[in-house]
Chain A
């Protein structure tokens, strides 16, 4: 094995370490939001380091460009998907863990606002809607 292959193996094992830490956070943390906090960073970093390692191993400029395109796609797609999952969970009213500082009251506040709008509408129409 040459020195270049040792450098590539360093990057590959670094990527494997970060992927393992991310999935450890996935199975250990108590909440959906904290699980995404673990995965959204570790997944992107591990994939990027692994792609750099395979790029060094292959060494051809044509295939390395394709690998760079895959790395760019993953680094763009992964934060977008994480943001969308967080927004969907917040809008569906997924509860946070017991004892956290923030509570998710999106659905309750929507119901409260709708009830207030209905009361205002009934007042304006002179109580005929009841």
Chain B
């Protein structure tokens, strides 16, 4: 019962990511795509956590932690490249 509901929650998160991908395909500027990438990162983190509960393997929580940090650094690098023209 509970695992079925959580699987449908994951399907809903997939649907939300699909809508964000539609905005990233259509978006007029680069920054719309950056915003869409940000919400897709959040959805992937929540999906990893729900699967770590369903699979009873809690090591994936560390993977989600590293994924949050990687998304932050990636967004920061893209924004610095857009503002100043170079990264380092």
Contacts and interface: CB of A to CB of B under 8 A. Distances in A.
B39 A74 contact: no
Nearest to B64: A70
A84 B62 CA distance: 27
Range for the number of chain A residues in contact with chain B: 35 or more
Chain A CB count within 10 A is highest, among B12, B53, B61, for B61
Given A74-B68, A81-B72, A85-B31, A26 B49 contact: no
B1 A26 contact: no
B32 A84 contact: no
Interface residues of B, number: 40
Contacts of A5: 2
Chain B CB count within 10 A is highest, among A23, A81, A87, A89, for A23
A77 B72 contact: yes
Nearest to B83: A88
Interface string B35-67: 110110011011001100100001001101100
Interface of A is mostly: helix
B46 to A, nearest CB: 5
A23 B65 contact: no
Interface in A1-53: 1, 5, 9, 12-13, 15-16, 19-20, 22-24, 26-27, 32, 35-36, 39, 43, 47, 50-51
Interface of A: 1, 5, 9, 12-13, 15-16, 19-20, 22-24, 26-27, 32, 35-36, 39, 43, 47, 50-51, 54, 57-58, 60, 63, 66-67, 69-70, 73-74, 77-78, 81, 84-85, 87-89, 91-92, 94
